[in-house]
Amino acid sequence: MTTTDPQYSSHDAIHSVFARLKRTAQQTPYPLAENRLHCLQQLQEAIQDHEIALLDALRADFGHRAHEESRLLELVPLLGEIKHAKRHLKAWMKPSKRRVHISARPANAQVFYQPKGVVGVISPWNYPVLLSLGPLVGALAAGNRVMLKLSEFCPATNRVIRDIVMCALGEDWVDVIEGEADIANAFSLLPFDHLLFTGSTSVGHIIMRNAAERLTPVTLELGGKSPVLVAPSADLRDTAKKLVFGKLLNAGQTCVAPDYVLCHRDQKSSLIDYIEEELAAYYPKGVLSPDYTSVINERQLGRLQGYLNEARAAGVKCDNLMPKGPETRDGKLAFHVLHEPDDALKIMQNEIFGPLLPVLIYDDMADALAYIQQRPRPLALYLFTQQAADRTQCEAHTISGSLVINHTLIQVAQADLPFGGIGASGMGAYHAEEGFRTFSHNKSVLRKRGINLLALFRPPYGRVIHRLVARFWPLL
């Protein structure tokens, strides 16, 4: 059951909001740095003022999510991104100087970073604060107006986000849209100057088709299956510690959560033992532990249980590694390791987005790398190793949105690193300076002055011009 304001959940309403923001953007096409910094400061203060309201709303929407986890996963990286943008905005806004060809001299050339206009952001349910207000930071820093389409699965959080946005920025900068799939579809058909979508690959296809109708440039953050490659040299206890951290925060409902593990045949048993030890330390009461997050709704829980049931029916060993207790309770699903499932199973075809972990084995690192390379390019690749040669090989011979060595998940919270996928895991990037550039038009500006050398070469081309060109064109 979701609740939305009818004023912002009809087709007519979203067209009206878009038209109003478009007019505002046209009236002030290049907001000054001071105006942008004011917006970012107001946003930061509003988030801090609404901290408890946000944490309570997130807990309500998920059924259960610890406040500490929401702070760590949503508020800490979001506030870090705002502070980073405030610190570097004036430097990002400075036009960059470029060389002028000798034929156009004397002149000077620059690239001028201009707001695109009105940016659309479609955010998902798994991190409803970070993945709606995070893109807003880059879009505002670049001087744009923004329409936010929030997930219908997070009504309590949406109400707080609307309060934050209206309190901090008002309708001249940002407006919030709610509604279900039909509204999201209509939203993506608006003629935005840029559209950012975070969500599943299947919906990403629809978003891109809709954007193509208006020639709208898009940034797609799609997720996919992010592998963990455990090299023979890896410290298995440390690997298990960081694997559990990255996999079970938000109950695995993270686009860059470790999706499956590739480890050497001789490592498998020890690695799983260490994982079980870590789970006992993290969640001593299993799914009854107060810090273990619920799956967002019955639909997602049913999908995950369907993966388990299909794997069991196919003869795959599925071990519940949580301390003794029920497999499910109050929307929570126990963490399971699936031993070497076949690639044809749904759990190996689809992004898991939950507390299930396939563990695959290899006999040679080259085979493991080939397995990763033959599959759609992931949003993240996690490598655990103590050998420089392994790091070099992964850096040079694998393509992924990000590569993290000897940890998981922490790349998302780095304010000075871009975040984005490639291929099936997305296109484009935001966060940091790359986010500012994503939401800016890089306009070339050439200022000519003084004499015009090219006038010497205008028609009619006589003998003198022929000799000059023949002699000097290789130098140009």
Tell me the CATH number at 281: 3.40.309.10
Structure tokens at 65: 């999510």
- Mutual angle of helices 365-373 and 388-397, in 10-degree steps: 20
Assign residue 175 a region: left if phi > 0, alpha if psi is -120 to 50, beta otherwise?
beta
270 and 377 part of one domain: yes
Cis, bond preceding 217 (omega within 30 deg of 0): no
Residue 71 lies in a domain: yes
In this structure, what DSSP letter does residue 72 have? I
What is the pTM for the complete model shown?
0.92
Domain identity same for 123 and 210: yes
Q: Is residue 450 part of a domain?
A: no
- Specify the residue for token string 């997305």: 426
Q: Give me the torsion for CA of 162, 163, 165, 166, rounded to 10°.
A: 110
Check whether the bond before 323 is cis (ω within 30° of 0).
no
Q: Are residues 41 and 133 in the same domain?
A: yes
Please report whether residue 452 resides in a domain. no
Q: How many CB atoms lie within 10 A of CB 207?
A: 24
Is 475 inside any structural domain? no
Q: Are residues 71 and 145 in the same domain?
A: yes
What residue type is assigned to position 313 of the chain? A
- Name the catalytic one among 152, 178, 221, 278: 221
β-strands 336-339, 318-320 pairing: antiparallel
Q: Other C-beta atoms within 10 Å of 222: how many?
A: 27
d(CA 166, CA 172): 10
Question: Six-digit token pair at 46?
Answer: 């509003």
Q: Are 307 and 270 in contact (CB under 8 A)?
A: no
Which parts of the chain sit beneath pLDDT 50?
Answer: 1-4, 6-7
Residue in the block written with tokens 């895991």: 425
State whether 379 and 438 are in the same domain.
no
Is 180 one of the annotated active-site residues of the chain? Answer: no
Give yes or no: residues 12 and 57 share one domain: yes
Same domain, 151 and 271: no
Residue 140 forms part of a structural domain:
yes
Q: How many domains does the chain have?
A: 2
**How far apart (Å, rounded) are the C-alpha atoms in residues 55 and 86?**
25
User: Does residue 461 belong to any structural domain of this protein?
Assistant: no
153 and 50 belong to one structural domain: yes
69 domain-assigned: yes
Give the pLDDT of residue 462: 75
Residue 371 CB-density burial (10 A; 0-12 exposed, 13-18 middle, 19+ buried): middle
The one-letter amino acid at 246? G
**H or E element at residue 143:** none
Structural domain harbouring 47: 6-222+427-442
Number of Cβ within a 10 Å radius of residue 29 = 12
Q: Judge whether 332 and 292 are in contact, CB under 8 Å.
A: yes
CA angle, corner 244, sides to 243 and 249, nearest 5? 115
With tokens 């009504």, the residue in question is 155
Bridge partners (DSSP) of residue 360 are 262
State the CB neighbour count (10 A cutoff) for residue 339.
Answer: 15
- Which two three-digit tokens encode residue 69? 């986890």
- The CA dihedral of 367, 369, 373, 374, to the nearest 10 degrees, is 20
> Does residue 225 contact residue 376 with C-beta atoms inside 8 Å?
yes
Do 282 and 308 sit in the same domain of this protein? yes
Q: Is the distance from CB of 131 to CB of 180 less than 8 angstroms?
A: no
Q: Are both 175 and 94 inside the same structural domain? A: yes
Residue 226, φ and ψ in degrees, nearest 5: -90, 115
Q: Tell me the three-class secondary structure of 280-335, residue by residue.
A: HHHCCCHHHCCCCCCCCCHHHHHHHHHHHHHHHHCCCCEEECCCCCCCEECCEECC
Q: Tokens 């999201």 correspond to what residue?
A: 184
Cα(290)–Cα(332) distance, integer angstroms: 11
